[in-house]
Structure 1
Amino acid sequence: MTSLTSASIKPLTWMWRGFPIRYQAAGETGPAVVLIHGFGASCGHWRKNIAVLAETCRVFALDLIGFGGSAKPAPNVEISYTFETWAQQIADFCREVVGGSAFLVGNSIGCVAVMQAAVDFPDLARGVALLNCSLRLLHERKRATLPWYRRFGAGVAQKMLAFKPVSQVFFNSIAKPATVRKILLKAYRRADAVTDELIELILEPARDQGAVEVFVAFTAYSQGPLPEDLLPILPCGAIILWGTDDPWEPISLGKEFVKYPQVEKFIPLEGVGHCPQDEAPELVNPILQQWILEKSGV
């Protein structure tokens, strides 16, 4: 058994396109696995997984640019916050830090980012694991199917947030411990998983310069790929894990992904919400370990 703990795994810095990028690494041998967080999260959201996976793998958890401890350059001035950008970041990280191909694991929007990376850079993806994949229900193509009042409401909100004074007030109103706790208690089924530590993990990056601008840029991002665009053209196999009690990404819609031949397994996680890697690591870790080792032929 490993003597690693989440506290003993220190943050590291990698320079990408002149911007500092935070990541964590653990494990000396075995196949490489790269963990990608969801919206508003960071590599700390994998703190219950890294040490366990490092028993059999070389594990890397990466903060996407704009999130966590990574730089937050000005949107559309210094960088474009798109899945293509994040895919390029993941690919360059694999080449420059990991040293080659890896198993790519994502949660929420991180799933779309790892799929985009696999599609754009097939030589770097050995397999993809998707944990409660973002369905991107506010995407312009999906929004067209919503009732008119929901389409109208989403569009108005995006336009209002484009005004800096409005976005600053709105961001400040939600970047508070009580509000974050309330949001997480909706996303998580297990209330005891919503700890002060988790809330601080979410809030700390929100205090960085540029955090508001990144938040606005992503909430306005209604284009780009949908999961159903990327799954059928994946160059590698995929495994999907889905918390059955996710209030944001309904499992009933997620189950539609099993029709794609690239999806090797779809595993419901009973009584779990949107972030199963953090809420139920005792379920997720063994599944990921077994999948990686089987795909590696170990």
Structure 2
Amino acid sequence: MTASAIIEPQTWNWQGHKITYQQAGDTGAAVVLVHGFGASWGHWRKNLPVLGESCRCFAIDLIGFGGSAKPQPGIVNYTFETWGQQLGDFCREVVGGPAFLIGNSIGCIVVMQTAVDYPELALGVAAINCSIRLLHDRKRVTLPWYRNYGSMVMQQVLGNKQIGGFFFKQIAKPKVVRKILLQAYRRPEAVSDELIDLLMKPSQDPGAADVFLAFTRYSQGPLPEDLLPRLTCPTVLLWGTEDPWEPVGMGRKLAEIPTVNEFVPLEGLGHCPQDEAPEIVNPILLDWIKQHQSTTLLTDVTH
């Protein structure tokens, strides 16, 4: 089922801002899907209906992305703490309780932050090709001096509103987006016109450029290695082995953290396996949910 075959997304008011989300299924365990940078709930369009056959499955647009509101930076701080609070409130107010939290890329950091700040709302965390955040201040110092200096200069240059706005306009073009995705994906046929359209549409919204630039310059906040040790729920890492942005070797290093229960390499896939190969990812997620749903129910009965 494609995005166009699913009913129009629903809206939720969060702190005075419109948030869009989509839901499939009305029975079973609750599951919340969180997209990566520049994406939206539509990036889960191949997963939502399948997971919804046995779960109450939700896919949310983080504030600043997709169909959600894009307030000016300063009105909203575009940080993982903000998005973690948004996701926690969503679980309480819309989902109605705890859920399995599943993220891709920076969405992985969001679900981890939520599970750390609101452990009572996390039945489990599944992270698909988690963002390593190589431009974080603490990571950058490990880079060769010229790369460290170059990234610092780039962030400062993008802080200029005119230059930053021009840069965003050059990036937010279908041909450029397609080229970027063909680097991230290993199955070129998955980089469809539909995918380009769903990523391009929000980029035309007022405020989209400011959000993009604010996050591009965000080099603080938590790293996955900060959050993973603090998780108290079942945790699994899924990783496309051919991801050019988040090397699988770094994923295996994260998997050595004791709170990570399982590491699942996805051979031959890139940065967004849930979209590139849903026929591989969906069964893994369903099995993981089923396994830990049974454990959760058993715990509830025994207590």
Q: Which TM-score bucket, shorter chain as reference? A: over 0.9
2:252 corresponds in structure 1 to 255
What amino acid is the match of 1:19? H
Between 83-92 and 231-240, report the one with greater CA deviation.
231-240
Check conservation: 1:161, 1:216, Cα contact below 8 A: yes
2:301 aligned partner:
none
More displaced, 253-262 or 163-172? 253-262
In the alignment, structure 1 segments of 5+ residues that lack a partner are none
1:61 to 59, 62, 66: 59
How far 1:235 sits from its partner (Å)? 1.7
User: What are the residue-to-residue correspondences of 1:101-116 with 2, within 5 Å?
Assistant: 101-116=98-113
CA contact (8 A) 1:105 1:111 kept: yes
- Amino acid of the structure 2 residue aligned with 1:224: G
2:233 pairs, out of 210, 217, 236, with 236
Counterpart secondary structure, 2:218? coil
Query: What residue is the counterpart of 1:36 in the other structure?
Result: 34
Aligned mates of 1:151, 1:10 — CA distance in 2: 44
SS at match of 1:84: helix
2:82 aligned partner? 85
Q: Where in structure 2 are the equivalents of 1:80-229 lying within 5 Å?
A: 80-229=77-226
Structure 2 Cα separation of the partners of residues 8 and 167 of structure 1? 35
1:215-236 CA distance string (max 9 Å, x none): 1100010000000000001121
Aligned counterparts of 2:100 and 2:127: Cα–Cα separation in 1: 11
Identity of aligned residues (%): 64
Contact 1:137–1:143 under 8 Å retained in 2: yes
What is the Cα deviation at residue 8 of structure 1? 2.6
Contact 1:9 1:25 in 2 (8 A): no
The 2-side partners of 1:274 and 1:175 are apart by: 19
Letter in 1 for 2:147: R
Structure 1 residue 10: deviation in Å? 2.3
Equivalence for 1:10:
8
Q: Which deviates more from structure 2 when the two are superposed, residues 165-174 or residues 253-262?
A: 253-262
* Worse-matched range after superposition: 259-268 or 55-64: 259-268
**Which TM-score applies when normalising by structure 2?**
0.96
**1:205 match: secondary structure:** helix
Asked whether the 8 Å contact 1:36–1:62 carries over to 2, the reply is: yes
Cα deviation per residue 1:246-274 (whole Å; 9 max; x = unaligned)? 00000011101121222111010011000
**What SS class does the counterpart of residue 67 from structure 1 fall into?**
coil
Per the alignment, residue 246 of structure 1 pairs with 243
Contact 2:234 2:292 in 1 (8 A): no
Among 42, 45, 50, the alignment partner of 1:47 is 45
Distance in 2 between the 1:243 and 1:10 partners?
Answer: 30
Which amino acid in the other structure matches residue 223 of structure 2? L
Which position in structure 2 is the counterpart of 1:289? 286
| In structure 2, C-alpha distance between the alignment counterparts of 1:5 and 1:99, rounded to whole Å | 27
User: Which stretches in structure 2 are left out of the alignment for 5+ residues?
Assistant: 298-303
Matched AA of 1:258: A
Does the 8 A contact of 1:5 with 1:51 survive in 2?
Answer: no
What is the SS of the residue equivalent to 1:259? Answer: coil
Cα distance, 1:142 vs structure 2: 0.3
1:107 counterpart SS class = strand
Rounded Cα–Cα distance in structure 2 between residues aligned with 1:166 and 1:62: 31
User: How many angstroms apart in 1 are the aligned matches of 2:275 and 2:2?
Assistant: 15
Q: Is the 8 A contact 1:158 1:220 kept in 2?
A: yes
Deviation per residue, 1:177-222 (Å, 9 max, x gap): 1100000000000000000110111110100000010011000100
Q: After TM superposition, give the deviation of residue 154 of structure 1 in Å.
A: 0.4
Distance 1:126 1:5 in 2: 28
